[in-house]
Structure 1
Amino acid sequence: MNTFLLEIVTPEHLVYSKQVNSLTVRGVNGELGILPGHIPLVTPLQVAPLSVKADGVTVSIAVHGGFVEVHKDKVTVLAESAELPKDIDVERAEAAKERAERRLKLQSKQDEIDHRRAELALQRAVTRIKVSTGKGQQ
């Protein structure tokens, strides 16, 4: 068997559920490639596109934090939010990116909480743009 079940779940709904050939995610320690038969593991995810290969087609999905849980024949991505390319509003993502970049330029490092929020907003916007334009594939 050269596939495994991939489910991408957010608190609101099931975003993706399909038998896939491979998955590439960006964990906190770097990129992680998952193939059928991968050893079980759980690791936190960065805000970054993940890449899914199924039926010879590679799709990127915008994932905004969460965890990946790998079992023998099933992988679950528990994400704070996740978006398929068709669900992303590129203009809105571009506007969010510009807002975050402006906030980062204007802020002093003393306001660490706002700075971190702006950095995360920028990461989410860039991830959405990459996925929606097809540039999120590794």
Structure 2
Amino acid sequence: MRVVITRVAEASVTVDGDLVSQLPRPGLLVLVGIARGDGPQDARAVAAKTWSLRILRDERSASDTNAPILVISQFTLHAATRRGRRPSWSAAASGDVSEPLVELFCRELEALGAEVGRGRFGAEMQVASVNDGPITILIDTQDWR
């Protein structure tokens, strides 16, 4: 599982011109990519790490400040670009595996106390954000194994 966590002043997601979700105040924008072989344990661990990372102002975490989190599924985080000019998506899990794990990630954050907004899985989304800092963190559970 790969996630890119960005501290944002604001963020929103629209689909076909309709606002799907937006952060009500500054918080985190989290792009989530599920890889083949990822499971519920990855979603739970990364949710806990995301909630507790001290990347907000004054070395505080989302859990310390009750910062909202906008979660966007993004299989392209697993693009293989080593050869040629066309990325390969073969490391990304299929939608029927990814969608429940992304939703589990969101539910785990909510169980920890987070206010979570979501994109729309599988949709062409327009994600807008204003980075704050900028602070951007990459977590890859492959690095944890």
What TM-score results when the alignment is normalised by the length of structure 1? 0.31
Question: Quick check: which has more Rg, 1 or 2?
Answer: 1
